[in-house]
A and B are shown apart, each in its own frame.
Chain A
Amino acid sequence: MTAQHDADRLVHAFLQEGPAELSSPLTARIRAEVHETKQRTGFRPWRKSPMPRMLWIVAPLAAVLVAIGGLLVIGSGRQTPAPSPTPTAVPSPSVGAASSAEPSAYPIAAGEAWIVLGGTDHATLVRSDGTGRHDILTNVGVSVTDPDWSPDGNQLVFEGNGTRGSQLYVVDADGTGLRQLTPTPDGCPNGVCTEAVNPAWSPDGRSVAYVAPQHGGGIFVRSALMVIDVASGTMTEVYGTDQATLGRPTWSPDSQSIALEISHYVGSVEASALKDTVIAVIDLTASVHTPRTITDPALQGGYPAWHPTLDLIVFRTNRVDNSTGALIDPRAPSDLYTIHPDGSKLTKVTANVVGGQIVRAPSWTPDGRILYTVHDPVTAAEALRVVDVDGTNDASPAGSTTLSGQGRWRPGS
């Protein structure tokens, strides 16, 4: 503990060192470039912009014409097609401002095996053989976290951190067609801000499950498991609690159940140390959506991922308690396990040692192997690995190429 304290003190002192002032040449360069740069028109979605005067005349006229047209169509016995709902609930102000130019498409051939890696300000796509590496979603005004494939492998849903917190976005796999899925709330009603994180696309393609954390002034208020209908944008709360934090939902192959991690704290939620983290399953067909815990709290299980076709969930144990900066159980290793959704047949996949590498973010490849990330606590290096469900054939998914970050393998490839 003393050694850690000394190290932290040194790090703190080290980070006080740096340049003392902005140089005059830099100030002059900034001034010159600012002079050449035009300010964007303000985009303030929380303010209703007044309707231009001309529209006061044109809009009612257009409405009358549309009504007459509609009557004519009905009179002719033909049905007016219903407007097709779009997944675009509300355009993001930051995305709208930053993506004025549509990015060029990078073709993703049908059936081709790709892995998506979440980056800080972009997502990276790379073929499973390590070729074709390229970034998408650069300069879109939001950072990119937890990308997840649509079941047809043609789109990605991800958590975008923008100027108003995190919301979910959908983009075509070739990097085009970015649109916001969950709407940005109009401010923080009653001082409570709601975000959308950890998206998971349902196997039937209709819905995206996610977690909606609520905070007021940076203090935890509530955590809810939500499902949004991709076509209509209708959001439904599946389960909510102010006694724990929820995370990492994952769908059963029939889209009828969701597994997720639930974290409990020794005192105030998020403000005190973690007590335990468990995996629980919620049956969406039940009248009451009560989470059914399937892992022993002592395991500290988290980050579940449901097999694409089987009743099998992979998860990692012994998560990090970020408030203390250590694994929850320093006497236990960090490993991958599988378990059946009824809590039976707990099976260890990896065999790490105490103090050894930390595993996280497991997911499944379409052929039933486990893709996961290892973190070396000494070098801080991260690497993406793939391993058979029985723990054999552990390797880099891209052969001799090392990939880092959290990956998701494209379905159907």
Chain B
Amino acid sequence: MDRRLVELAQGGDEDAFDALVRVTGDRCLGIAYRILRDVDLAEDAVQSAYVSAWRDLRSLRDPDRFEPWLHRTLARACYEEARQSRRFTANVRSLPLAAMSVPDGAIGVVERDQLERGIRRIPVEQRTVLVFHHYLGLTLSEIADRLGVPIGTVKSRLFYATSAMRAVLEAEARPSPMSRERPA
């Protein structure tokens, strides 16, 4: 991250902030989409986060910390979007595969469907920790620092989110009672 760009933006330079949006925007949309599971909501959250970031940019103490600070702002925007929106579980617009970054052969269609349904059941704050951990590759300490919550809270949220996702996959993998062999 270009420290100079952040400092210029803190001084009110809109072009510098625009450059920051271009540098950090893809990652932010990626985070928001993975948390909210809906492109429209994700775009709204990203827009809201950047406007908040612009408004409060002068309160950022260390310009080198711009991106972690932005991610915290984005997480709050996602919470707000999930809380306010009634579209959260309905009217979901999926991106065409061409617009998605999909690792080849990593995951099957059926499993993806299971995981999609599973992640939607998880509270948004737990989902956020899951995304920060798996997508951003952050450690628990880094997530705590980035979200501004105690590390115990992060651990707890990650536990419940991970358990829920495992449970979904295990439940789907379990044979139905009808197909089980009757014990001798």
Contact = CB atoms under 8 A, between A and B. Distances in A.
Interface stretch (A65-73, A280-288, A375-383, A389-397): A375-383
Interface in A11-49: 11-23, 26-27, 29-31, 33-35, 37-44, 46
A161 interface: yes
A323 B47 CA distance: 35
B21 A19 contact: no
Interface in A133-186: 143, 145, 161-166
A218 B115 contact: no
Given A11-B115, A12-B134, A161-B149, A37 B51 contact: yes
Interface string B111-125: 110011001011111
B46 A19 contact: no
A142 to B, nearest CB: 8
A322 interface: yes
Contacts of B83: 121-122
Contacts of B26: 20-22
A143 B149 contact: yes
A7 interface: yes
A143 B125 CA distance: 11
A21 B29 contact: yes
Contacts of A35: 14
A213 interface: yes
Contacts of A38: 55
B54 A19 contact: no
Interface string B78-104: 011001000000000001000111110
Given A11-B166, A26-B43, 13 more contacts: A10-B111, A10-B115, A13-B106, A17-B100, A18-B34, A21-B25, A38-B55, A40-B55, A120-B124, A121-B83, A197-B150, A270-B152, A379-B164
Interface of A: 3-4, 6-8, 10-23, 26-27, 29-31, 33-35, 37-44, 46, 93, 97, 120-122, 143, 145, 161-166, 195, 197, 213, 215, 217-219, 245, 247, 270, 320, 322-323, 325, 375, 377-381
13 contacts: A6-B169, A7-B169, A13-B103, A16-B103, A18-B29, A18-B30, A22-B29, A30-B21, A30-B46, A34-B50, A120-B123, A218-B145, A320-B159
